[in-house]
Amino acid sequence: MFPIDMKNIYIIILMSLIINTLALNYGICQRSLTKTNNLTFDVVFAGTDSEVLISDATAAKFTIYTNSLTRLTISFVLPAVLTSAGNPDIPVTFDMAHCSYRKTTNNPTGSTYFDPNTTLTISGVKNREYYYVWLGGVAHPPNGTPPATYTATITITTTQY
């Protein structure tokens, strides 16, 4: 942990997961979705944007295992702000430069970027494949933001059909 002083703001985004399973003419689609890392902005400074790239150790990371020949969709419900009781909200943004996926290889280098504000559909998904998803973002703490832990919930939903 870093020492708390008036310049430091601790920001953590807590992740929650929702897994939807949709079976259409294929029987029951079995797959798994695992969160392997939370998105954490660590120490940021009031008045200075703080960016987490997909390649950063503090980016969110998810692993999806497929068990059906089908399509896979990935969608997020993303917060617009980070909150802390009694403190002003901190705006946070997510865009195509901060979200990607990759089939089979657990490394964001060479991954495919996509906009986390829209649903991604991947066709040609094979039986027993792994997909890895990374999510970063940008926190925009205004001048005068007091030090505290700020949180928000991100929901990821996957569907196979």
CA-to-CA distance for 101 and 47, rounded, in angstroms?
A: 31
Condensed to tens digits (0 to 9), the pLDDT of residues 41-72 reads: 988 899 999 999 999 999 999 999 998 778 99
CA-to-CA distance for 125 and 123, rounded, in angstroms?
A: 6
- CB burial of residue 152 (10 Å; 0-12, 13-18, 19+): buried
Domains by residue range for the chain, with CATH: 8-160 (2.60.40)
Condensed to tens digits (0 to 9), the pLDDT of residues 76-93 reads: 999 999 999 999 999 999
CA dihedral sign of residues 44, 91, 14, 38: negative
* Res 133 pLDDT > 80: yes
CA 122 to chain centre: 18
Supply the mean pLDDT for the chain: 84
Instruction: Return the pLDDT at 30.
Output: 61
Among residues 50, 7, 21, the alpha carbon closest in space to that of 146 is found at: 7
